[in-house]
DNA sequence: CTGAAAGCGCTAACAC
DNA sequence: GTGTTAGCGCTTTCAG
């Protein structure tokens, strides 16, 4: 006698077996109908479809994935779903993936570098591939993780060709901004730095360091800040204290936070203080004053990430890092020094 | 002789079988070790763990889910990941779910009402339950979908007790805003309406209609607008034309777009025009002027949605709609009429 | 305490 | 054209 069922609770209401039974065919036939295999008698196919409708059956994607070995789903791990910058990228990624018939599921790591590896693996264990957006973990951890979650593409971190990668050239971007401000006559510039663990911050710092060397008569002062509105808002006292005439914020979100504070304090921007951001999120175009920032084609970047990930899924990965150079978007928040 | 394998490509690199073989035990034992069943000889358990580490094995969540019948994962369908309002809610939801040991995957419907049902079903077919955030589909379609994706909880749409639901009281919120403006002396108010398919818009319209009856001497004029920055930005000509002294935007994003335009046009807010939003997204606190809006405890709402969904997964669902009343956040963008 | 084997729901040989 | 059956990778009963 066969052993009893291994579990007590049924998961699914109706399964392919129920359909088969109800339609008086085998489950192979039901499967064929579902998957549109053309060699099925139209009469029977119709009957099966009717039964499916009637019973409101949808195939278990889990079972399907297990059997097929693929799910046509990819995962994206994002450090902060609250940052509009990632949306733009995600949007491009999503659309490109959808065009290729893939679903995308995203999970937020809430900037918690320690949870990233586990989240990525879990994500990968239920999808065909993962894209890591701006992972916060150390390089060492990242390199260790990569092989475990392959196929994998990473955005905004270098991978030493252990995975496909697409990056924004932050180094170039910050230089654009610094030159812009210097050209406007500023000689004392504050940099509201971002999280120490972010590559996007290191690269900016590196650019600034070069600038200091190249133009010794301008002072570029680091102010530890962060990545959020609040961080920008709270940075004001430090900025005032150092009597800078211009500030480069870690990103637009921070810049907007500072701008809000300035308005409250009655400090007029850009008349009394020029402010620049980074990323060109949608809000910055419409802020008051509109925000000078550097802009990348975020949505296109998302598309490229998808392409890179897609390539990782084949046997011809694109391992050469793809670098996007930002452009200066000079707007109302920066101005010549009188 | 047994039939050949049904497929040609292997999916997984290492499976539980490989571990079992390498450790010289049965896969049942490996499974026990993985799941921390205490009745395993510590010696053996350790050996298995070593092998797992060495081979870098992680169990297939797909297979696990299929076997277990549950995945401890829930899906969230969001109409627009670009709207910061949803983030706040998502954030609360995520944290609450994580506390209960659940993963959450989110997918964006890009405001496409027609794709929602399919996306929701697909999501549901790979998770244990789904939360529908502000679905855009018709009520009829929603009611038809609900049973197909149960357990399900819905945010910001009524479900006629066919599913758990939590809602923001938009009707009350808009009244708060209208009264605020009327108290400030405004008698000609423009309402930048949102998408016709959104309940959040109907409810606002309903409140406004009541207001018109109650206070006949004030004019509240509808201006078809939308839900995005651009929509707000582009609404200016229409608003100017009707010579309103105050405007209530569909939401903060729209209000911020309008504010940006006003700055460009040299129209000072609130001196020449009072502007109010809805939702209290983080940006609105720091805009210039800071935005008058109505605020709900978005993150707490997320938590409640989780609780409702959790209850749906048990046999004691919470079908009574949970209504959150917003509060007025009067800030700089609205002002007494001179 | 451990192993053998059935079964989760589906797909795809293979045989008829 | 359709049914039978093995197998995807895991969990869990049941026997030993």
- What's residue A80's pLDDT? 87
Q: Mean of the pLDDT values across residues A298-308?
A: 96
Of B256, B282, B286, the CB nearest to A286: B256
Does the pTM of the predicted model rise above 0.85? yes
Q: Tell if A3 CB is < 7 Å from nucleic strand D.
A: yes
Distance in Å, residue A84 CA to nucleotide C12 C1': 45
d(CA B216, CA B182): 12
pLDDT beyond 90 at A126: no
CA distances from A290 to A260, A330, A331, B82, B231 (A): 12, 9, 6, 20, 17
Q: Flag residues 238-277 of B with CB < 7 Å from strand D.
A: none
- What's residue A4's pLDDT? 38
Q: Flag residues 36-65 of A with CB < 7 Å from strand D.
A: 39-41, 43-45, 63
| 3-state SS track over chain B | CCCCCCCCCCCCCCCHHHHHHHHCCCHHHHHHHHCCCCCCCHHHHHHHHHHHHHHCCCCCHHHHHHHHCCCCEEEEEECCCCCHHHHHHHHHHHHHHHHCCCEEEEEECCCCHHHHHHHHHHHHCCCCEEEEECCCCCHHHHHHHHHHHCCEEEECCCCCCCCEEEEECHHHHHHHHHHHHHHCCCCEEEEEECCCCCHHHHHHHHHHHHHHHHCCCCEEEEEECCCCHHHHHHCHHHHHHCCCCEEEECCHHHHHHHHHHHHHHCCCCCCCCEEECCECCHHHHHCCCCCEEEECCHHHHHHHHHHHHHHHCCCCCCCCCEEECCEEECCCCCCCCC
d(CA B84, CA B272): 28
More confident residue, B126 or A119: A119
Residue A279: DSSP 8-state = B
Distance in Å, residue B42 CA to nucleotide C2 C1': 13
- What's residue A11's pLDDT? 63
What is the CATH code of the structural domain delimited by B73-168+298-327? 3.40.50.2300
- What's residue B334's pLDDT? 96
- For A82, the closest chain B residue by CA position comes to B87
Q: Give per-residue pLDDT as tens, B214-268.
A: 999 999 999 999 998 899 999 999 999 999 999 999 999 999 999 989 988 999 9
Residue A258's Cα: distance from chain center in Å? 24
Q: Give per-residue pLDDT as tens, B162-216.
A: 999 999 999 999 999 999 999 999 999 999 999 988 889 999 999 999 999 999 9
pLDDT, mean over chain B? 91
Distance in Å, residue A127 CA to nucleotide C9 C1': 18
pLDDT beyond 90 at A2: no
- What's residue A63's pLDDT? 93
Model confidence at A113, pLDDT cuts 50, 70, 90, reads: very high
d(CA B236, CA B154): 34
- What's residue A221's pLDDT? 95
Which residues are within 8 A (CB) of A39 and not within 5 positions of it... i.e. 6 or more apart?
A32
B106 neighbourhood in chain A, CB within 8 Å: 81, 105-107
Task: Determine contact, residues B249/B281, Cβ cutoff 8 Å.
Answer: no
Task: Determine contact, residues B27/B17, Cβ cutoff 8 Å.
Answer: yes
- What's residue B239's pLDDT? 95
CB contact, 8 Å: A265 with chain B?
A: no
pLDDT beyond 80 at A275: yes
Task: Determine contact, residues B299/B280, Cβ cutoff 8 Å.
Answer: no
Q: Give per-residue pLDDT as tens, A192-236.
A: 999 988 889 999 999 999 999 999 999 999 999 999 889 999 999
d(CA A147, CA B56): 9
Instruction: Give strand ranges (E) for A73-230.
Output: 73-78, 103-108, 129-133, 152-155, 164-168, 188-193, 219-224
Of B66, B262, B290, the CB nearest to A63: B66
Tokens of B245: 């002294």
Which residues are within 8 A (CB) of B333 and not within 5 positions of it... i.e. 6 or more apart?
B255, B259, B269, B270, B274, B275, B276, B277, B287, B289, B290, B291, B292
The CA angle A225-A253-A173, to the nearest 5 degrees, is 85
Q: Which nucleotide is nearest to A69 (CA to C1')?
A: D8
Model confidence at B289, pLDDT cuts 50, 70, 90, reads: confident
More confident residue, B111 or B134: B134
- What's residue B198's pLDDT? 87
Partners of B92 in beta bridges: none
Q: Tell if B3 CB is < 7 Å from nucleic strand C.
A: yes
Q: Mean of the pLDDT values across residues B10-16?
A: 76
Please give the full DSSP string across A192-226, using - where no structure is assigned: EE--TT-HHHHHHHHHHHHHHHH-TTSEEEEEE--
- What's residue B296's pLDDT? 93
Q: Give per-residue pLDDT as tens, B94-109.
A: 999 989 989 888 888 9
Pick the CATH number of A16-68 from 3.40.50.970, 3.40.50.1970, 1.10.260.40, 3.40.50.720: 1.10.260.40
Query: 3-class DSSP state for residue A188?
Result: strand
Q: Mean of the pLDDT values across residues B280-284?
A: 88
- Domain A170-296 in the same topology as domain A73-168+298-327: yes
Dihedral sign for Cα atoms in the order B79, B81, B83, B89: positive
Q: Which of A104-113, A185-194, A283-292, B80-89 has the highest mean pLDDT?
A: A185-194
Q: Mean of the pLDDT values across residues B67-95?
A: 91
Host H or E run for residue A294: strand A293-295
- What's residue B7's pLDDT? 40
Neighbours of B95 (CB within 10 A): 16
- What's residue A26's pLDDT? 92
Tokens of B250: 């569909």
Neighbours of A324 (CB within 10 A): 18
Give me the phi and psi of A117, to 5 degrees please: -60, -45
Partners of A279 in beta bridges: A295
Model confidence at A1, pLDDT cuts 50, 70, 90, reads: very low
pLDDT beyond 60 at B4: no
pLDDT beyond 70 at A267: yes
Report the residue of A288, A291, A298, A315 to disrupt the B interface, i.e. the one with the largest count of B CBs within 10 Å.
A288
Q: Give per-residue pLDDT as tens, A30-85.
A: 999 999 888 899 999 999 999 999 998 989 989 999 999 899 999 999 998 878 89
Omega of the bond leading into A79 within 30 degrees of 0 (cis): no
Domain residue ranges in chain B: 16-68, 73-168+298-327, 170-296
pLDDT beyond 60 at A155: yes
Model confidence at A5, pLDDT cuts 50, 70, 90, reads: very low
Pick the CATH number of B170-296 from 3.30.565.10, 3.40.50.2300, 1.20.272.10, 3.30.2350.10: 3.40.50.2300
């Amino acid at each position: 006698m066969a052993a009893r069922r291994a579990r007590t609770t049924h998961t699914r209401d109706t399964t392919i077996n129920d359909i088969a039974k109800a339609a008086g065919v085998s489950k192979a036939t039901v499967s064929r109908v579902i998957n549109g295999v053309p060699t099925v008698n139209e009469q029977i196919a119709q009957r099966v479809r009717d039964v499916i409708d009637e019973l409101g059956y949808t195939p278990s994607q889990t079972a399907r994935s297990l059997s097929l070995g693929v799910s046509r789903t990819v995962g994206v791990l994002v450090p902060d779903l609250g940052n509009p910058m990632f949306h733009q990228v995600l949007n491009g990624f999503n659309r490109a993936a959808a065009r290729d018939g893939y679903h995308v599921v995203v999970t937020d790591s809430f900037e918690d570098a320690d949870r990233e590896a586990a989240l990525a693996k879990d994500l990968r264990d239920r999808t065909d591939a993962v894209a890591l957006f701006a992972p916060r973990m150390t390089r060492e951890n990242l390199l260790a993780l990569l092989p475990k979650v392959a196929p994998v593409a990473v955005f905004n971190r270098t991978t030493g060709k252990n995975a496909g990668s697409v990056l924004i050239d932050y180094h170039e971007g910050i230089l654009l901004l610094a030159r812009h401000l210097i050209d406007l006559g500023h000689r004392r510039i504050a940099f509201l730095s971002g999280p120490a663990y972010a590559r996007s911050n290191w690269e900016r710092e590196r650019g600034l360091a070069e600038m200091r060397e190249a133009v010794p008569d301008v002072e570029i002062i680091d102010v530890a800040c962060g990545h959020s509105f609040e961080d920008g808002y709270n940075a004001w006292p430090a900025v005032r204290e150092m009597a800078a005439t211009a500030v480069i914020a870690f990103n637009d979100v921070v810049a907007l936070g500072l701008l809000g504070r300035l308005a409250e304090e009655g400090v007029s921007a850009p008349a009394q203080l020029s402010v620049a951001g980074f990323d060109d999120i949608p809000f910055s175009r419409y802020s008051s004053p509109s925000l000078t920032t550097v802009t990348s084609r975020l949505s296109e970047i998302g598309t490229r990430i998808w392409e890179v990930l897609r390539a990782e899924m084949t046997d011809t990965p694109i391992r050469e890092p793809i670098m996007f150079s930002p452009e200066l978007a000079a707007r109302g928040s920066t101005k010549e020094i009188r």
